A and B are shown apart, each in its own frame.
Chain A
């Protein structure tokens, strides 16, 4: 069956520019398709990855193209794991306000982490807060099941 036994593992180190988003999304998207992940899983991974990359480029690296973003992904039919790192000082995710509170609903920013957590099985930051690991596990994946 297509997708069974497939495994994709890649490390990408790129200049911190907007153009890298499409490059990373294309590579991850191909890997997801070859592993047989369904449309819902692909949608969630794409959204979470986009948020993580935007945070790395604009917040972590301050929009400085002289800095780098590192993406490592491991994708199998059973699990999707993505680690996105920037070269910034990091931050404390626990200090990001809840954007769903009434007093924050009309604010234009601050929803990226929340969306990552909504679509992935886990979202973990390193101690410095400049690397995030996104995992989508069996609780959200149906790849590999017989059609």
Chain B
């Protein structure tokens, strides 16, 4: 059975799991589902997941992508984990502000600031 190509790039910095999206446009449902499944698996495999998600490549995302991020956030918290978002383009950040999800997620302008915020 052919395996799907990953939609994320994963690296580790100490005990941090660093995730970067490979897609510039996170709009279609199938890609979003796959992203959710891949990050969900990372959370499942960690004891107290410390997850840093970078939006450096992202130019567009849909409300379905926001929904997946919420699901990831909920899943991480259930395991006593932490989630940070970083390197979000101003236009994309505006989407978080409009939906008030900037109040739900911990968002940092730089990866360095985000990394320093983990406890």
Q: Which residue of B is nearest A98, CB measured?
A: B100
Partner of B28, one of A21, A100, A115: A21
* A114 sits at the interface (CB 8 A): yes
Interface contact A106-B95, CB-CB below 8 Å: no
- Assembly CA distance A107 to B101 (angstroms): 11
The number of chain A residues with a CB under 8 A from chain B is: 24
Beta-carbon contacts under 8 Å, B55-72 to A: 60, 62-64, 66-68, 70-71
* A34 sits at the interface (CB 8 A): no
- Assembly CA distance A60 to B74 (angstroms): 28
- Enumerate chain A interface residues (CB-CB to B < 8 A): 18, 21-22, 39-40, 43, 46-47, 50-51, 54, 58, 99-100, 105-109, 111-112, 114-115, 118
Partner of A21, one of B27, B73, B101: B27
* B103 sits at the interface (CB 8 A): yes
Chain B nearest CB, measured from A76 CB (Å): 23
Interface contact A105-B101, CB-CB below 8 Å: yes
- Assembly CA distance A60 to B38 (angstroms): 29
Interface contact A115-B27, CB-CB below 8 Å: no
Chain B nearest CB, measured from A33 CB (Å): 15
Interface contact A108-B70, CB-CB below 8 Å: yes
The majority secondary structure among interface residues of chain A is helix
- Assembly CA distance A46 to B99 (angstroms): 17
Q: Which residue of B is nearest A116, CB measured?
A: B63
Interface contact B95-A47, CB-CB below 8 Å: yes
Chain A nearest CB, measured from B33 CB (Å): 11
Interface contact B91-A43, CB-CB below 8 Å: yes
- Assembly CA distance A107 to B100 (angstroms): 12
Give 8 A-B contacts (CB < 8 Å), ordered by A residue.
Answer: A18-B28, A21-B27, A50-B27, A50-B60, A99-B99, A106-B104, A108-B66, A114-B98
Q: Which residue of A is nearest B104, CB measured?
A: A105
Known contacts: A111-B99, A114-B98, A118-B98. The answer to whether A46 contacts B67 by CB under 8 A is: no
Interface contact B71-A108, CB-CB below 8 Å: yes
Chain B nearest CB, measured from A116 CB (Å): 9
